[in-house]
Structures are given as C-alpha cells and as structure tokens.
Amino acid sequence: QQPVQSPQAVILREGEDAVINCSSSKALYSVHWYRQKHGEAPVFLMILLKGGEQKGHEKISASFNEKKQQSSLYLTASQLSYSGTYFCGTETGKLIFGQGTELSVKP
C-alpha cells in the first residue's frame, strides 16, 4: 500500500536539476508532496488531483500520471534551501506516505 519513491537519496550541486518519482500499486485520487528539513516538521509543497489540477509551490513542479499510478516531482535550478527529505503521499481516504527521498544540495 505504501507508495515507492526513487531514488532513495540524491546529492546535487547548486543549480542542478533533480527528479523524484513516486509510484503506487493502487489507483490514486491525488498525490501530495511534502518536504521535511532535518529536525523540523513536514511542509506541504504540492498537491496533484485526478483530472490534472495542481496546486502548490512556485519553483517546484510535478506531474501525475493517473494511468500509470505515478507522480514525479521536478526540482529545477536547485538551491541550498531545497535540501531535505521529500515525501510523496497518496490519498485514498487517508494519506499514505512513501519512504522518503533524501536530497542534499551542495554549494
């Protein structure tokens, strides 16, 4: 039931791009993306709804392929502040989070 994220960890230099994938074995109604910095609470980034509606962060984009039950988070021109653990959450009456992807952005 838990969605699977890949990669598990990624290291970037400032300015580089990254893609984090999230896939589920179940049909999805929506996908949420959150970022958690070390020692802090998860913070909402993006929600993708069935039918293509998106709502979220200015500098981060995402896609949602309902047929493939997959979502991807695109981080472009990464900044140091992007470092943290990214979680996707799949909504089927309740939010089930993936195992997280740890992203480190180095100067």
Partner 1 sequence: DTAVSQTPKYLVTQMGNDKSIKCEQNLGHDTMYWYKQDSKKFLKIMFSYNNKELIINETVPNRFSPKSPDKAHLNLHINSLELGDSAVYFCASSETGYEQYFGPGTRLTVT
As a whole number of angstroms, the distance between CA 90 and CA 1 comes to: 9
User: Does 4 help bind partner 1 (rule: CB under 8 A)?
Assistant: no
Helical (H) or strand (E) element with 29 = none
User: Does 99 help bind partner 1 (rule: CB under 8 A)?
Assistant: yes
User: Does 36 help bind partner 1 (rule: CB under 8 A)?
Assistant: yes
User: Does 9 help bind partner 1 (rule: CB under 8 A)?
Assistant: no
Helix (H, G, I), strand (E, B) or coil at 14: coil
User: Does 32 help bind partner 1 (rule: CB under 8 A)?
Assistant: yes
- Beta bridge partners of residue 32, listed in sequence order: 47, 89
CB of 26 to partner 1, least distance (A): 15
As a whole number of angstroms, the distance between CA 77 and CA 23 comes to: 24
The residues of the shown chain that bind partner 1, judged by CB under 8 A, are 30, 32, 34, 36, 40-44, 47, 55, 85, 87, 91, 93-97, 99-100
